[in-house]
Chains A and B, each alone.
Chain A
Amino acid sequence: MAKPAASKNKNVYFSLLFLSPFLILFLLFKLYPMIAGFVLSFTKSNIFGTEFKFVEFSNYFKLFQDTTFWKAMRNTVLYTLLTTPLMIPLALFLAVALNRGFRFLKALRSVFFLPKILSVSVISLIWLWIYQPDWGLLNYYLKMFHLPIQNWLQKPFMALFSIVIMDIWWTAGYQLIILLAGLGQIPKELYEVADIEGANAWQKFIYVTLPCLKPSLLFVFVTHIIGCLQIFGMIYIVTGGGPYGSTRVMVQYIYENAFIYNKMGYASALAYILMVVILVFTLIQFKFLREKE
């Protein structure tokens, strides 16, 4: 039965009433800046609004010849490619191990998640002190075991890798919790069937656990990779992008161009390129994990 027209109109009115607080914020602080940013990327403009000149595609052309841009892009992608194969398998391993039902399950889970509740600045300061070359904790123990000590944050590749270690310590517990929740959703009967079929632990992992865990894994992969491509705070505090720009990532370069070099147009172009990279990475993952079904 169709509803009377008056009640339908009333529904539209109420719907808009409930939506209005969000819609106002959305138009002002999301849609407008998105469009304005796109327009800005075709201009040469400064932070004071005193300069605003259309330069067509020249920001985008300039970007392809900018070696600092390429280096920042390389660092960002390298960082993502380094953390992903280390962090997610670790989180998965911990989740599967904890899921076997230990007495200490809850305590262990809480310990691994603990770093994530600390602010990004706090964990950065702690690790800055741990990595300190002369008095730091890490070099102290390396010396004690007669292992070669490192200048953790002063050598180009090592600096990036040191950040990877920090990030694993900070975030693996968060992924662990999501994966553990996903494991809890898998019906016990599936494992019983596998037992009857005579499957060993590895086969159960490959044929039961992994396929059933796919939604959680997809979530972890997508959020992790988006997070990596947008990394900024941790690196900005610990290395400031150094040594020699070897840890300068895309977001830092956008930040510097906009708020230090005062090139708002160029920074907007950089931001839009970063967005395209993020979208491409996300689509690849959706496609990759969907097709395997």
Chain B
Amino acid sequence: MKRQINPGNMRLKEKTVKSALLVFLLILAFIWILPIAWMVSTALKPENEIFTEEIHWMPREYTVENFIQTFRKTKILIWFLNSVIVTGTEIFFGLLTWSLAAFAFAKIKHRGSHLLFIIILSTMMIPEQVTIIPLYLLMSKLSWVNTYHGVVLPSLANAFGIFLLKQFFESVPNDLVDSAKIDGCGWFGVYRLIILPVSKPAIAALGIFTLFRSWNNFLWPIIMLQTSEMMTLPIGLKNIQSTYATESYGVLMAASLIASIPVLIFYFFFQRQIIRGISLTSGIKG
């Protein structure tokens, strides 16, 4: 078969394909933003502009009434604070316990430690739903229902963090560990002065992963957090929805926006780290 290749033609064709693709991607990206823009638009509209025959994306009359109503009628600030407390403690204590355990598995090897690691790892396959019922019964015996630690502690028993950190800790050369030990560093010194500083990217990635998981956690908190004062944002918002139902989308959207603004700001500033963190937790290094 004879094939004639005309470089100029090829390049032209490639350029057309690329521009068509770009146009398609831009349209899709535009559609992707619409639901969020719609939330902002609705939150800023007075009631009579929300339910109209004709839709205006830009409110004719801007109002903060929905936000005032949200703050007055709901405990959204408390929910926000609860979410921050729960997520913050989970990240801090999670990173601490997981990194300590991962360090032991990666660097202080002895007979039996590999088997223990495999046992712990295998529980990653067990879905949360299997454990929540006995966990709830345990928590009610301990009177830990409707408390922060009741929500946070079980999530620390997750093996994923250890699995992730162990791989990174193992890539730290053993020579470095040995020479530090010869210089009189104990195991804790090795952990704190060598392993932790070297593994900062991995720890940051795990922190971001935990942040997302904890911030969006729904099933366990909705079981555990029963009074309005203790609820986290996802549970509180679900609560507004069941009390207000459909009559006030203005308030629902204002509450959603209030809940989203801090994470949007966070995303804006830490985009690069978040995206790198997600790539890292999926097992791709670099």
Asked if B267 lies at the interface with its beta carbon under 8 angstroms from chain A, I say yes
Interface-facing stretch out of A58-66, A156-164, A178-186: A178-186
Output the nearest chain A residue to B18 by Cβ-Cβ distance: A100
Asked if B135 lies at the interface with its beta carbon under 8 angstroms from chain A, I say yes
Taking CB atoms, residues of chain A closer than 8 Å to B68 are none
Output the nearest chain B residue to A26 by Cβ-Cβ distance: B157
Taking CB atoms, residues of chain B closer than 8 Å to A121 are 218, 233-238, 241, 256, 259
Interface-facing stretch out of B32-40, B58-66, B196-204: B32-40
Interface size class, chain B: 35 or more
0/1 string, B116-144, CB within 8 A of A gives 1: 10001001011111111111111011000
Interface-facing stretch out of A27-35, A78-86, A203-211: A27-35
Contacting pair B100 A114 (CB below 8 A): no
For the complex, what is the distance from the CA of A182 to the CA of B280, rounded to whole Å? 10
Asked if B71 lies at the interface with its beta carbon under 8 angstroms from chain A, I say no
Taking CB atoms, residues of chain A closer than 8 Å to B279 are 177-178, 180-181
Contacting pair A19 B137 (CB below 8 A): no
For the complex, what is the distance from the CA of A230 to the CA of B108, rounded to whole Å? 36
Contacting pair B21 A97 (CB below 8 A): yes
Asked if A196 lies at the interface with its beta carbon under 8 angstroms from chain B, I say no
Asked if A219 lies at the interface with its beta carbon under 8 angstroms from chain B, I say yes
Contacting pair A129 B253 (CB below 8 A): yes
Contacting pair A267 B133 (CB below 8 A): yes
For the complex, what is the distance from the CA of A237 to the CA of B233, rounded to whole Å? 14
Q: What is the minimal beta-carbon distance from A256 to any residue of chain B, in angstroms?
A: 12
B125, B134, B187: which contacts A36 (Cβ < 8 A)?
Answer: B134
Taking CB atoms, residues of chain B closer than 8 Å to A173 are 32
Most buried by B among A40, A182, A236, A271: A271
Contacting pair B113 A119 (CB below 8 A): no
How many chain A residues touch B (CB < 8 A): the figure is: 97
Q: Given known contacts A122-B260, A215-B283, A237-B241, is B131 in contact with A30 (CB within 8 Å)? A: yes
Taking CB atoms, residues of chain B closer than 8 Å to A128 are 241, 252
Interface residues of B (CB under 8 A from A): 3, 18, 21-22, 24-26, 28-29, 32-36, 38-39, 42, 50-52, 55, 96-98, 100-101, 103-105, 108-110, 113, 116, 120, 123, 125-138, 140-141, 153-154, 156-159, 162, 187, 191, 212, 215-216, 218-219, 223, 233-238, 241, 246, 249, 252-253, 255-256, 259-260, 263-264, 266-267, 271, 274-275, 278-279, 282-284, 286
25 contacts between A and B (CB under 8 A): A15-B110, A18-B101, A21-B100, A25-B153, A26-B120, A37-B130, A117-B267, A122-B237, A122-B256, A125-B252, A125-B255, A126-B38, A128-B241, A129-B39, A135-B52, A177-B275, A178-B284, A181-B278, A198-B3, A220-B282, A233-B216, A233-B218, A236-B238, A251-B129, A274-B129
> Which are the 10 A-B pairs with shortest beta-carbon distances?
A181-B279, A233-B218, A121-B237, A36-B134, A18-B104, A33-B131, A22-B101, A33-B134, A29-B157, A29-B154
Interface residues of A (CB under 8 A from B): 8, 11-12, 14-16, 18-19, 21-23, 25-26, 28-34, 36-37, 40, 47, 49, 94, 97-98, 100, 102, 104, 108-130, 132, 134-135, 137, 140, 169, 173-174, 177-178, 180-182, 184-185, 198, 215-216, 219-220, 226, 229-230, 232-233, 236-237, 250-251, 254-255, 258-259, 264, 267-268, 271-272, 274-275, 278-279, 282
